[in-house]
C-alpha cells in the first residue's frame, strides 16, 4: 500500500474521554473512529488487524474440528423468554419490534440461538460431539461503555458452543478448547494467564477466563507464586492460614465496649489481631420478586467478596442497607454478632467454621462477646466461602503465596451442562434410545477487545507496538526525501520486491518532513521501518525496530534478505 493513497487519518489529539493507551493510540493512529458511546468504525488498519486475529482463531478452531457457522444477529426474543435470560440480561439486551410487532433482540451472545439450530437436527448420540462457532458482531447495551474497543456496546466476539452426550466428553472438549485458546493467545504474542472464574448465575460446573496481563486490566486476578494456580478475585479461594497470630486467652464472656464499633477500634480495645474479630456486613439481598436483609460474617481482617456473596445467596442482586433498616428489625449496628440467629438470615465465611478465641458483637448496644467458639454453630449456621482472598494468603493448591495482578478478560470458557438444552427442550436419543438433554459447553473470545489488549500490553509513549502476528503491515519503507530520485527509486524497488515476496508492506511516499513521517510510523507501530535516506549514496539504508527502537545500518543490496530473515 502506498501511504499517499492510504486512508489512515492520524491525529495529534486523543478523544477527550480516552484514558487507556489502546484507546488513545488506536484513535490517534487512525485505526478507529467513534460513532457514539461504545460504537466504533473500524478503518483499514483496524480491519487488517482484526482479520489477522480472526485467521488465527479460524486456523486453531479448524485444527480441533470446530466448524464455523454464522447465525442471524437479530434474534427472536421468544428464545430468550424460554431460557429466562430476557430478565437476567436486563437492559444490556437491546429489544425492538418489527413491523408485524414481533419482539426481537440484538444478539449479545448466542447460546439460545445455537441450541435452537441444533435442536431437532442432531437427534442421536451417534452425531455427537459437535462444536460450532462463529465470529460475529455482538451488541450489549453496556451501562458504562468505555475504554474504546475494550468495552464497547457493539463488538466482535468469537463464540463457540459444543454439544455432548456425556459429561466426560464435555470435560475432554473443554480441555481441548482451552489448549487451542492458549495457542491462539501465544501466537498473537500475548502474555496471559488462564484463571478460574466465577460460574455466576448461568450455573454450570467449570469456568475459566483468559486474562491478558496488563496494568490497565479491569479484573484483578490472584496468582500463585509457586504453582500454575490463578483465579479471578470473584472466584479465588485459599487454604487456611498456616501462621496464625497469637490467640487471646479468655473464657466466654460478655464485655462492655462503650462506643467501640469498628474492627480497628475493637482490635485496639482488646489489643488483639483483627484476625480474631468477626465483622458483620449487612446487605439487602434481592431475589426475583422479593428481598431480605442478610448478615454476612467474615473475619475482621477479611472483606466480603460481592460475587461470592451473590452466589451464596443465589440472589439477583445485593445492595447496601441503612442503619435504620437494621434497627427496624431489632439489630444494633456496630454490635451485630452471629450468635443470635433469629433476626435475619446469616451467611458465615467458611474460614470461621469451628474457629475459636473470637470477639464479636453481642447484639446489644455497647457490648461484645469474647472467647467465642464458633463450633457451637457448626450444625445450625450456614457456612460458605464469601471472603475475598488477600495478597499473601496461601494458595489452595500448594503452599505458595497468592499475589495480585491486573488482567484483561479476553476469553471465557464455560461448562454449561444442560441449562439451555433443558430450557429449550433440545434432546438427543442416547444408546438406550432414551431422550436426554444435550450437555453443553460455551467458549467466548473477544476479538475486538483483543485488538485493544495487544496495545495495552505493547505500546510506549510514542504509540502502538504491534506484535508480528497482529501488525497491519510488517514493513514500512520510508523514503526520506521524496525529491531525491535515487532514494525514490530504491524505495520503489524494495517495495516491489517485498510485495512480490508477499510481505505486507507500506511505502511512505508522501511529500512530508522526515521527522513527521517517522513520528507517524511510530504512532502506527509497524514492526520494522526501513529508512532510505542520505546514506544511500554510500550504499546504506537503515532498519528501525519499533519494539527495541534499535537502528541498524544495512548495506542496501542486503536489505531484502535481512527483512526476510527478520520477519
Ligand atoms: P466482562 O466481564 O468484561 O463484561 P463478560 O463476562 O460479560 O465480560 P462474556 O459474556 O464471557 O463476557 O463474553 C465473552 C468475551 O467477549 C469476553 O471474554 C470479552 O473478551 C468479550 N466481551 C464481552 N463484553 C464485551 C464488550 N462490552 N466489549 C468488548 N468485548 C467484550
Ligand atoms: Mg459483561
CATH class of 253-388: alpha beta
Whether pLDDT at 527 is above 70? yes
Cα 203 to Cα 312: distance, rounded to the nearest angstrom: 12
* Region 303-326 average pLDDT: 93
User: Quick one: pLDDT at residue 315?
Assistant: 87
User: Quick one: pLDDT at residue 342?
Assistant: 87
Of 446, 447, 452, 453, the one to substitute when testing ligand 1's pocket (max ligand atoms within 8 A of C-beta) is: 446
Atom 28 in ligand 1: residue holding the nearest Cα:
151
Cα 473 to Cα 467: distance, rounded to the nearest angstrom: 11
Cα 414 to Cα 173: distance, rounded to the nearest angstrom: 11
CB within 8 A of 9, min separation 6: which ones?
30, 33, 43
Q: What are phi and psi of 323, to 5 degrees?
A: -60, -35
Query: Do 133 and 159 form a contact (C-beta atoms < 8 A)?
Result: yes
Ligand nearest to the CA of 138: 1
User: Quick one: pLDDT at residue 345?
Assistant: 94
Whether pLDDT at 531 is above 90? yes
Cα 441 to Cα 207: distance, rounded to the nearest angstrom: 10
Query: Do 274 and 264 form a contact (C-beta atoms < 8 A)?
Result: yes
pLDDT in tens, 5-57: 999 999 999 999 999 999 999 999 999 999 999 999 999 999 999 999 999 99
Of 406, 447, 449, 450, the one to substitute when testing ligand 1's pocket (max ligand atoms within 8 A of C-beta) is: 449
Whether pLDDT at 288 is above 90? no
Distances (CA, A) of 534 to 30, 486, 546: 29, 10, 21
Mean pLDDT over the full length of the chain: 95
Atom 26 in ligand 1: residue holding the nearest Cα:
151
Query: Do 465 and 525 form a contact (C-beta atoms < 8 A)?
Result: yes
CB within 8 A of 314, min separation 6: which ones?
287
* Region 276-292 average pLDDT: 94
pLDDT in tens, 197-233: 987 655 445 899 999 999 999 999 999 999 989 999 9
User: Quick one: pLDDT at residue 205?
Assistant: 57
pLDDT in tens, 334-373: 999 999 888 999 999 999 999 999 999 999 999 999 999 9
Whether pLDDT at 389 is above 90? yes
Q: Which atom of ligand 1 is nearest to the CA of 414?
A: 11
User: Quick one: pLDDT at residue 202?
Assistant: 52
User: Quick one: pLDDT at residue 69?
Assistant: 98
Helix (H/G/I), strand (E/B), else coil: 57 = helix
Query: Do 180 and 368 form a contact (C-beta atoms < 8 A)?
Result: no
Whether pLDDT at 110 is above 80? yes
Cα 261 to Cα 279: distance, rounded to the nearest angstrom: 10
Within 6 A (CB) of ligand 1 lie: 109, 140, 142, 151-152, 155, 157, 409-412, 444, 446, 448-449
Q: What percent of the chain has pLDDT over 70?
A: 99
Q: How many distinct helices (H) and strands (E) make up the chain?
A: 14, 31
Q: Ligand 1 center to residue 145 CA distance, Å?
A: 12
- The full set of domain ranges for the chain reads 21-237+403-456, 253-388, 475-566
User: Quick one: pLDDT at residue 206?
Assistant: 85
Of 444, 447, 448, 452, the one to substitute when testing ligand 1's pocket (max ligand atoms within 8 A of C-beta) is: 444
Distances (CA, A) of 306 to 173, 269, 315, 318: 31, 29, 11, 8
User: Quick one: pLDDT at residue 88?
Assistant: 84
Q: Which atom of ligand 1 is nearest to the CA of 152?
A: 28
Q: Which atom of ligand 1 is nearest to the CA of 209?
A: 18
CB within 8 A of 403, min separation 6: which ones?
222, 223, 225, 391, 392
Determine how many CB atoms are found less than 10 A away from the CB of residue 430. Answer: 14
Atom 11 in ligand 1: residue holding the nearest Cα:
412
Q: Which atom of ligand 1 is nearest to the CA of 445?
A: 15
Ligand nearest to the CA of 109: 1
Distances (CA, A) of 370 to 272, 278, 357: 11, 11, 7
User: Quick one: pLDDT at residue 66?
Assistant: 98
Query: Do 168 and 439 form a contact (C-beta atoms < 8 A)?
Result: no
pLDDT in tens, 470-503: 999 999 999 999 999 999 999 999 999 999 999 9
User: Quick one: pLDDT at residue 144?
Assistant: 92
Whether pLDDT at 375 is above 90? yes
CATH class of 21-237+403-456: alpha beta
Q: What percent of the chain has pLDDT over 90?
A: 91
The pTM of the full predicted model, rounded to 2 decimals, is 0.88
Cα 251 to Cα 248: distance, rounded to the nearest angstrom: 10
User: Quick one: pLDDT at residue 276?
Assistant: 95
Cα 437 to Cα 44: distance, rounded to the nearest angstrom: 45
CATH number at 475-566: 3.40.50.800
Ligand nearest to the CA of 155: 1
Amino acid at each position: 500500500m502506498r501511504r499517499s493513497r492510504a486512508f489512515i487519518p492520524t491525529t495529534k489529539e486523543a478523544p477527550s474521554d480516552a484514558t487507556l493507551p489502546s484507546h488513545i493510540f488506536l484513535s490517534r493512529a487512525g485505526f478507529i473512529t467513534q460513532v457514539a458511546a461504545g460504537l466504533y468504525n473500524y478503518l483499514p488498519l483496524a480491519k487488517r488487524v482484526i482479520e489477522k486475529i480472526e485467521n488465527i482463531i479460524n486456523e486453531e478452531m479448524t485444527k480441533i474440528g470446530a466448524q464455523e457457522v454464522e447465525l442471524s444477529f437479530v434474534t427472536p426474543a421468544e428464545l430468550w423468554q424460554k431460557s429466562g435470560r430476557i430478565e437476567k440480561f436486563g437492559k444490556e439486551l437491546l429489544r425492538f419490534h418489527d413491523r408485524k410487532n414481533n419482539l426481537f433482540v440484538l444478539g449479545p451472545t448466542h447460546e439460545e440461538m445455537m441450541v435452537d439450530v441444533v435442536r431437532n437436527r442432531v437427534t442421536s448420540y451417534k452425531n455427537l460431539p459437535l462444536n460450532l462457532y462463529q465470529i460475529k458482531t455482538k451488541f450489549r447495551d453496556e451501562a458504562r461503555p468505555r475504554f474504546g474497543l475494550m468495552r464497547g456496546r457493539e463488538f466482535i466476539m468469537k463464540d463457540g458452543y459444543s454439544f455432548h452426550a456425556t459429561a466426560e466428553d464435555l470435560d475432554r472438549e473443554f480441555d481441548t478448547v482451552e489448549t487451542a485458546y492458549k495457542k491462539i493467545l501465544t501466537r498473537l504474542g500475548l502474555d496471559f494467564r488462564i484463571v478460574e472464574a466465577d460460574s455466576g448465575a448461568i450455573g454450570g460446573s467449570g469456568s475459566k477466563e483468559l486474562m491478558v496481563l496488563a496494568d490497565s486490566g479491569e479484573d484483578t486476578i490472584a496468582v500463585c507464586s509457586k504453582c500454575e494456580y490463578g483465579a479471578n478475585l470473584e472466584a479465588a479461594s485459599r487454604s487456611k492460614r498456616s501462621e496464625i497470630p497469637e490467640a487471646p486467652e479468655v473464657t466466654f464472656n460478655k464485655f462492655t465496649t462503650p462506643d467501640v464499633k469498628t474492627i480497628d477500634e475493637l482490635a485496639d480495645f482488646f489489643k488483639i489481631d483483627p484476625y480474631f474479630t468477626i465483622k458483620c456486613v449487612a446487605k439487602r439481598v434481592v431475589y426475583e420478586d422479593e428481598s431480605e436483609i442478610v448478615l454476612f460474617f467474615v473475619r475482621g481482617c477479611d472483606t466480603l467478596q460481592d460475587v461470592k456473596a451473590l452466589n451464596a445467596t443465589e440472589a439477583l442482586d445485593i445492595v447496601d442497607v441503612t442503619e435504620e433498616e437494621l434497627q427496624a428489625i431489632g439489630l444494633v449496628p456496630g454490635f451485630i454478632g452471629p450468635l443470635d440467629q433469629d433476626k435475619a438470615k446469616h451467611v458465615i465465611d467458611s474460614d470461621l467454621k469451628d474457629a475459636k478465641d473470637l470477639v464479636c458483637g453481642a447484639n446489644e448496644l455497647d457490648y461484645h462477646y469474647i472467647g467465642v467458639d464458633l463450633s457451637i454453630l457448626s450444625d445450625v449456621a450456614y457456612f460458605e466461602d464469601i471472603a475475598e482472598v488477600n495478597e499473601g494468603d496461601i494458595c489452595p493448591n500448594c503452599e505458595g503465596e497468592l499475589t495480585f495482578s491486573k488482567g484483561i478478560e479476553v476469553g471465557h470458557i464455560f461448562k454449561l451442562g444442560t441449562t439451555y438444552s433443558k430450557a429449550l427442550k433440545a434432546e438427543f436419543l442416547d444408546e438406550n434410545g432414551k431422550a436426554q438433554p444435550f450437555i453443553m459447553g460455551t467458549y467466548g473470545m473477544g476479538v475486538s477487545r483483543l485488538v485493544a489488549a495487544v496495545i495495552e500490553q505493547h505500546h510506549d509513549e510514542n504509540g502502538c507496538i504491534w506484535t508480528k502476528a497482529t501488525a497491519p503491515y510488517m514493513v514500512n519503507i520510508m523514503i526520506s526525501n521524496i525529491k531525491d530520485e535515487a532514494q525514490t527509486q530504491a524505495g520503489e524497488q524494495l517495495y516491489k520486491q517485498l510485495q512480490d515476496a508477499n510481505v505486507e508492506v507500506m511505502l511512505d511516499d508522501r511529500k512530508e518532513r522526515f521527522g513527521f513521517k517517522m513520528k507517524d510510523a511510530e504512532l502506527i507501530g509497524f514492526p520494522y521501518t526501513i529508512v532510505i535516506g542520505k546514506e544511500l549514496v554510500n550504499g546504506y539504508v537503515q532498519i528501525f525496530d519499533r519494539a527495541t527502537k534499535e537502528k541498524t545500518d544495512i548495506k542496501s543490496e542486503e536489505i531484502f534478505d535481512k527483512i526476510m530473515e527478520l520477519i
